[in-house]
Amino acid sequence: MANVLTDKEGKKRYLVSFTINGDEHQGLVKANTLFVNFIRDELDLTGTKRGCELGDCGSCTVLMEGKPVNACLLLAVEADGHSFTTIEGLATTNKLDLVQEKFIEYGAFQCGYCAPGMILSAKALLNSNPKPTEHEVREAISGNLCRCTGYVNVVKAILAASGQEVEH
């Protein structure tokens, strides 16, 4: 359990630490601080978006121990001790991740608001299933709503990132 500090008014703050994109971060959070708000407001990792705030749209998707979860339904205190990847952690200084490259090449996002979450869901899929079928791709991103693309080019980009031949 995280260390607890109590202020003069008896309000509690919880000391949490976690790894994000390989970096250690500590924070003093309120119990009701959501992980999505903590990383956006305190760490300026605004690539993780707030969309529906109820776990329905997937735009706040982050990878927790490599698995996609909704950061809007995760308390910062519950994130304590865990390891995360956000969209900022995919590309290295000079090189985009292959999934990001294929998303751009295939026109897999338009407004781009769902893209970080969608790309992370795709990344998690390909990590556990390097040659997914089209249906498996659709299942893996069914928690990521996109209002622009109809998913047509998203599915193509993910299949292409898995090395499968896909028409543009």
Q: Which of residues 88-147 bind other proteins (CB under 8 A)?
A: 88, 90-91, 96, 100, 103-107, 109-116, 119, 121, 134, 137-147
Q: Which of residues 1-30 bind other proteins (CB under 8 A)?
A: 1-2, 11-12, 14, 30
Give me 18's structure tokens: 């976690």
| Binding flag, residue 78, other proteins (CB under 8 A) | yes
Contact 12, 31 (CB under 8 A): yes
| Cβ-count burial 40-71 (b if 16+ within 10 Å, e if not) | beebebebbbbbeeeeebbbbbbbbeeebbbb
Closer of 131 and 134 to other proteins (Cβ)? 134
Closer of 28 and 148 to other proteins (Cβ)? 148
| Binding flag, residue 70, other proteins (CB under 8 A) | yes
